[in-house]
Amino acid sequence: MIKTIAYLGLGTMGSGMASNLLKAGYELTVWNRDREKCEPFARKGAHVADAPADTVSDVDLVMYCLSNDQAVEEVVFGAKGILSGINEGQIAMDMSTVLPAMSLREQEATQSTVSILSMRRSLAANKNPRMPSFGLWPRVTRPFMKR
């Protein structure tokens, strides 16, 4: 059962989702590149982490909603990024707005190390008539295992 959640990326979508998680009674740890965006959540009882790796280290579920490829590169793959702090048994849910190439990069980096559910609108949908223009494409890789 999921009791503790990390939420990274407190923009328009992320702040609404994080607020609902707090209202639902989850123990929440938050992080944002602009630390000021974490303060309203701290006042409501959320823990505020100093770095993405610290945010994810002791939770059951990691959720992130980042604005673009550069943000995912920094927050997920950076020196103190999500992948450097994630532990066995955790699940990561990515709801970021990125190009398909970044989704593939995440998949390659995590396919044997983390269970990740990626939900996003495909930015390539408008260029491919066979793809619906809106929707979510879930992707789950193998469960996290220590190497």
Which domains are present in the chain? 4-127 (3.40.50.720)
Over range 32-37, report the average pLDDT: 97
pLDDT band for 139, please (50, 70, 90 cuts). Answer: very low
> What is the percent of the chain where pLDDT is above 90?
55
Q: What's the pLDDT score for residue 99?
A: 86
Q: What's the pLDDT score for residue 30?
A: 98
46-70 pLDDT, tens digit per residue, is 999 999 999 998 999 999 999 999 9
Identity (one letter) of the amino acid at 15?
A: S
Identity (one letter) of the amino acid at 77?
A: F
128-131, Cβ contacts within 8 angstroms, sequence gap of 24 or more: none
Contact 92, 82 (CB under 8 A): yes
Q: Which residue has the higher pLDDT, 38 or 139?
A: 38
